[in-house]
Structure 1
């Protein structure tokens, strides 16, 4: 395989890790979330510095306790690969649905970037460290008949 082909496959694998991370939050799937990190991986976020898969597996539940639902999208992921490590900047939008004190449905939207450190493992490219960088927020009214917490799980 060419060097470009290897770089493209590695980039795709890292993007898949970022997508699984986002999907796991939205599905409140702690096991899937933690599996995107190496065993002693670190997440630096508003919830604090969270270290290790056991602690990381609690993140989706903690987010779900604050919001009725979430919706995350992954956009750019541009890595710089050096052997079995890579750093990347990953862009995204995170939407957090809730109701205000009068019951009106709202969306708290975050425009975010992650400073990611990846490591190639036998299981693929996993996060060693992910630092959330908040670029902007916006809260707005939404029309939603489906603001109840998610009960269904996507087929795996």
Structure 2
């Protein structure tokens, strides 16, 4: 029973890290995003490799400069304990809203899998590495709504 409880508490804590990461991107909060990582944390994505707090904290601004708004939904997450932490896979749907050159309001949607490695630190669970794999994309016209 104690092992089951420990596994459940770990899974909840790791999901919260992933949810805060998504929120940080959508809210444009670089400090919140960087706080989800160990000091030597890494994000690997099609846009490049970002290492350490300074580079990681710039990710939300990079996204905000490209899109009007975003919406990241964290879906299922499978994690397993390993020596020194945990690793797993996190599924996400990421929607990116923008106007095209003709003025149409569009959504660029990405289906994503993150390959995650987590470390347990003195301040709680943190990502040490997150590698983004794009499974598929779709762009479609959306209805623009006031913020």
Q: Same fold (TM over 0.5)?
A: yes
Give 1:40 shift: 0.7
TM value normalised by structure 2: 0.97
* Counterpart Cα distance in 2 of 1:141 and 1:62: 23
What does residue 36 of structure 1 align with? 36
**Structure 2 equivalent of residue 135 of structure 1:** 135
Which 4+ stretches in 1 moved above 4 angstroms?
Answer: none
5+ long unaligned stretches in structure 1:
148-156
Where 2:102 maps in the other structure, the secondary structure is coil
Q: Which structure 2 residue ranges, 5 or more long, are not aligned?
A: none
Q: Distance in 1 between matches of 2:17 and 2:122?
A: 14
1:19 aligns with 2:32: no
What secondary structure is seen at the aligned counterpart in 2 of 1:102?
Answer: coil
SS in 1 for 2:146: coil
Q: Which residue number in structure 2 is paired with residue 74 of structure 1? A: 74
Q: Distance in 2 between matches of 1:101 and 1:57?
A: 29
- What's the RMSD between the two structures over aligned residues? 1.1
Please give the residue correspondences for 1:41-52 in structure 2 after superposition, counting only pairs within 5 Å: 41-52=41-52
Q: What's the CA shift string for 1:40-62, capped at 9, x where partnerless?
A: 10000122010001110000000
Q: What residue number does 2:59 align with?
A: 59
TM-score by length of 1: 0.91
Pairing 1:63-102 to 2, within 5 Å after superposition: 63-102=63-102
2 CA distance for matches of 1:144 and 1:84? 46
Counterpart in 2 of 1:154?
none
Displacement after TM superposition at 1:124 (Å):
1.2
How many residues get paired? Answer: 147
